[in-house]
Amino acid sequence: MKAVHLISLCTCLLLLFFSMVNAYPTESPLVPRYKEGELLVRFKDSAKATKSLVAHKSDRLRYYSRLKLNHVRLADGVSVKEALESYRNDPNVLYAEPNYRLKKAAIPSDTQYSSQWNLPLISAPAAWDRFTGSQNVVVAVLDTGIAYTHPDLIANLWTNPGEIPANGIDDDSNGIVDDFYGANFGGIRGTGDPWDDDTTDSHGTHLSGIVGAVGNNNLGVSGINWAVKVMAVKFLHGSSGSGQLSDVLKAIEYAMSKQAKIINLSFEVDENPIYINDIKSLREAFTVADQAGVLIVSAAGNKSSDLDNINIYPASIRLPNNTSVAAATRTDTLANYSDYGRHTVDLAAPGGVSTGSSNAILSTVWLNNGNMQYRSIAGTSTAAPHVAGAMALIWGNFPNLTHYQVKARILNGVDVTAGYTSTITGGRLNLSKSLGIGDLPAIFNVTPYTIPFEGGTVVITGANFGSLPGSLMAGNLQLNATSWSDTSITAFVPGSATGTFLQVNGSGTSFPINAGGSTVQLSAAPSFGFAPLVTTINAVISGISDIVLYEWDMGDGVFHTQSGTTAASTVLGFAGSYQIRLRVTDKQGKQVIGSTTVTAVSQATGGGGGCFIATAAFGSYLHPKVQVLRDFRDRFLLTNKPGRFFVRLYYATSPPIADFISRHNSIRTATRYMLTPVVLFVSHPFYMLLGIFVSGAALFITVTVLSKRKSVNAPLNL
């Protein structure tokens, strides 16, 4: 029996190594994607904020007066994880979240150079016959900064009327010295110098040229606006284009304080989407901007992901003033790298493919100390400023429009083609049509967009609905509204409505919904139990046939493809409530989603949340080394098939081994020696080979000791 346990222990450790190799990401898994030592905290009662900060031993770094938000520094030795738990248990805290790291949206790369095919694609020349732009509109480009000496940009750059350049004085008393062309957050403290230091692709300068490189000047390239004011607000730094959430919040506040009407955001939060359900501070900043009549344009992202199923921020913040933009190619199709979403991404705009080639977007850069002033770049990063520039052109020509009416013209003016059916509008930006289309109804969002079998109430947001109730159609079915205003409608959609589009007053852009009496009902057996909990999920599907795709989300927030099955099993390794989902798709592309909740709780006697051997070896599931292994399991083993296979096998074999280890001090000591390099490995991947070697040596010593003990001692009681 002892030999069997020893073999099982060795097998588990070897499987752990192989599973970690399969599961290991390109970055160290334990490098936090947020800034250590800081949080962003919103209190319910601001008057009690100081008292709460003292109680949590935190210092206020900054107070965002418009957002009523606190940027705080944690006490020495307190981790972000510990502080989050403490703050979230404080009854005076509305929310607390990490100061996430941000990065510019990744871009494809190649080496060729060509011309601006993107402008004819969106009918820019026809639009310029009517209007070429106005310097009364300010577009804030929140990015890596702008090379403000670029000869094709300087005439269209925003300048701060309250600041005298380069005099070393904060002339407008806003806390920033010499913010003449804009501001710089997260870099040199107190500087207003937003110079673009991105030596890889001059990201912010490139986006600014798309919005507003001076047109018709016999030099370089043309922006969408020949005349505009582009504000440089820098919060991304260096060739990697990295920054922090706290800095983009400052940047948004600054842009609003300087009367920017449009804010371009071509970045994404540098965190696995599985671990973010929302970014409340960023959502609140967008809400404040919405209340101030400011439009935001967000790049959809470059991971080929469906944003109906996974969140990429800021694109996934579904507020009326935020427009999410996918990337279109030179051949007028959705770029293969572009994120999309039939209910979450508004439209496409030119983003191109192959940076440096004729198929990417040519615009201004400042590379090799200005020796290269024009270059082509591809990505949804470059798609977003096409829409921001289009909004500026419309607003410049029609200055009395509301921000919702400007967005409505953008959505209503798209060219609808088969290549963009995975977006809300089903189309790609057309500058000329948007400039001349007029104020038609436009639906921005429908909540929820999936209607249950028995029907349900939806809230429709948008613009130009009219102040009095009109026509609301779900396909050919007339709906009755329970409330109606120019920007919001509440209505009941019956179960008899088939999967179709909602449209207001018979014109303007519509919005797709999932409806039609089709259901997926899930049941779990068991639905409650101690972790590790092995549960089986069964599905009953009605109202949909010819199913071609079954996709399961086993609680990690991501759908995984399975062929032809209505049942699945999973192991929930640690305590918590899990939403299990099944999405089915028929031959026509219709999709129906069902869900159920399964809850796993901790064992009354502990047990380490599934890390049985480590808990037995180190004496407590709260031991720091056990916590490292548990974090690795939760974040990187349970999120992929090889890892989940190992965890399932480990749970099936390790409890008796852990029990054996816990009752023999010598074995506990030997196991600690074996696990220590494993802990070192998951913390520092460069020690992998050393960890394997040491673990192998420890196993050899253990086998030798046990063999000798067998010859001189009585058998151990198991």
Segment 304-359, tens digit of pLDDT: 989 988 889 999 999 999 999 999 999 999 999 999 999 999 999 999 998 889 99
Specify which of 125-134, 269-278, 541-550 reaches the highest per-range mean pLDDT. Answer: 125-134
Q: How confident is the model at residue 619 (pLDDT cuts 50, 70, 90)?
A: low
Q: How confident is the model at residue 112 (pLDDT cuts 50, 70, 90)?
A: very low
Instruction: Quote the CA–CA distance of 635 and 626 in Å, as a whole number.
Output: 14
Instruction: Quote the CA–CA distance of 116 and 119 in Å, as a whole number.
Output: 6
Instruction: Quote the CA–CA distance of 506 and 602 in Å, as a whole number.
Output: 55
478 has pLDDT over 60: yes
| Alpha carbon distance, N-terminus to C-terminus of the chain | 8
pTM over 0.75: no
Query: Which segments of 526-627 are extended strands (E)?
Result: 528-530, 533-542, 547-554, 560-562, 567-572, 576-586, 591-601
Task: Say if CB 602 and CB 609 are below 8 A apart.
Answer: yes
Q: How confident is the model at residue 610 (pLDDT cuts 50, 70, 90)?
A: low
Q: Count how many Cα atoms sit within 13 Å of the Cα of residue 173 in the half-sphere of its side chain.
A: 0
pLDDT of residue 20: 43
Backbone torsions φ then ψ of 265, nearest 5 degrees: -125, 100
pLDDT of residue 603: 53
For strand 591-601 and strand 528-530, is the pairing parallel, antiparallel, or unpaired? parallel
Tell me which of 563 and 570 has the higher pLDDT.
Answer: 570
Domains of the chain: 2-28+607-712 (no CATH), 34-104 (3.30.70.80), 118-436 (3.40.50.200), 442-513 (2.60.40.10), 519-601 (2.60.40.10)
Q: What is the DSSP string of 504-545?
A: ETT-SB-EEEB-SS-EEEEEEESSEEESSEEEEEEEEEES--
Q: Across all residues in the chain, what is the average pLDDT?
A: 83
For strand 488-493 and strand 481-484, is the pairing parallel, antiparallel, or unpaired? antiparallel
Structure tokens at 496: 């008899």
pLDDT of residue 671: 85
Which residue matches tokens 């206020």? 60
Calculate the alpha carbon distances from 254 to 140, 168, 294 in Å.
10, 19, 13
Choose the weakest-confidence range: 367-371, 475-479, 641-645: 641-645
Q: Count how many Cα atoms sit within 13 Å of the Cα of residue 684 in the half-sphere of its side chain.
A: 8
Helices assigned H by DSSP within 364-402: 380-397
Residue range 501-545, pLDDT digits in tens: 999 999 999 999 987 656 788 888 888 777 778 888 998 887 676
Structure tokens at 9: 């222990």
